[in-house]
Amino acid sequence: MKPSRPRRPFGVSLFALLVLILAVLNLLRLIQTIQKWDLLTAILPFSPIYLLLSGLLWAVVGFPFAWGIWRGWHSAYQLSAVFLVVYSLYLWADRLLLPVYPERLDNWLFVAALNILILAWSLWVLTRPKAMVFFGEKNE
């Protein structure tokens, strides 16, 4: 008889939903870049290829990662901290290195606080004993 799998903790469900939302937003970035290519080429000081490739990359990474978190894959659990840090670095590089208009950086303090809050919450959720059991990190 197969041992029963622990129930997915609510916080893990929310974390998987957060990752899924990021994947969907990046898929929309990819789709919108393709649809509005001519406009973006005319108004942006950089190539829309960056928007296309970054949207593609994070959609391709995000959907399987969200599924892995949802299903309780141990490898997804182990990569969670790496995903969070790399996505945060990407987010800040995107904001700081590609400013299209100066006001884009006006709310940097709010975005930084929100980023830190999401990172802290995510790491807290993933290090709860029930989450660790769900991912097979330790026994009950």
pLDDT, averaged in runs of 10, over the chain (140 residues)? 82 98 98 98 93 98 98 96 96 85 84 97 96 82
CA-closest candidate to residue 77, choices 24, 134, 120: 134
Encoded tokens for 6? 């622990």
pTM score, two decimals? Answer: 0.90
What is the pLDDT at residue 2? 64
What is the pLDDT at residue 8? 96
CB 44 within 8 A of CB 58: no
Q: Which element (helix H / strand E) includes 90?
A: helix 74-97
Q: Where exactly are the structural domains of the chain? A: 10-134
What is the pLDDT at residue 32? 99
Burial, 26: exposed, middle or buried (Cβ in 10 Å; 0-12, 13-18, 19+)?
A: buried
- Please enumerate in sequence order all residues whose Cβ is within 8 A of that of 73, keeping only pairs 6 or more positions apart, or say none: 135
Alpha-carbon distance of 4 to 17, in angstroms, equals 24
